[in-house]
Amino acid sequence: MSPSPKNTPENTMEILKTIYKIMQDKKCEEIAVLNLESVHSYLSFFLICTVNSAVQANAVAREIKKALKSFKLPHKETDKTGTSASSGWTLLDYGEFIVHIMTPEKREYYNLDRLWRDAERIELS
């Protein structure tokens, strides 16, 4: 599968800010936005947040999906390990943007922040 075409920088920032705002509004903790462009060939951004329950994870995922429909991003529905709220890790794959919604236990165990520590952290607040 070939990578999806890149968004414009303005569109990219708007998408990042939209996801970030939803995470804030839904009371997510430890929100991280990682720019992977310099460390990965086709992924551009990881957005990672911590939630305290499956209900909260579902609410965050639902709002992000609804908000990103207007951007017409490719979205892969997948059912692999770690993609459901009941597993403690909800993953939304939009090609260039990967959203990770994780419980504290999963976030600590997989430690994506450390794994991708070479990526630039973006501050959106």
Question: Mind listing the pLDDT tens digit for each residue in 41-91?
Answer: 677 899 999 999 999 999 999 999 999 998 888 777 554 444 566 789 999
Q: Is residue 11 part of a domain?
A: no
Is residue 59 domain-resident? Answer: yes
Q: What is the pLDDT of residue 25?
A: 97
Residue 2, domain member (yes or no): no
Higher pLDDT: 35 or 87? It is 35
Query: What mean pLDDT do residues 98-109 have?
Result: 96
Could you tell me if residue 22 is inside a domain?
A: no
Q: Would 15 be classed as within a structural domain?
A: no
CATH of residue 86: 3.30.460.10
52 in a structural domain: yes
Number of domains in the chain: 1
Q: What strands lie across the sheet with 29-35, from one edge to the other?
A: 89-94, 97-102, 45-50, 29-35, 120-121
> How do the residues of the chain divide into helix, strand and coil, expressed in percent and rounded to 5?
40, 20, 40
Domain membership of residue 12 (yes or no) is: no
Q: Domain of 97?
A: 28-117
Establish if 5 belongs to a structural domain. Answer: no
More confident residue, 89 or 40: 89
Lowest-pLDDT choice from 20-34, 74-88, 98-112: 74-88
- pLDDT tier, 5 (very low <50, low <70, confident <90, very high otherwise): low
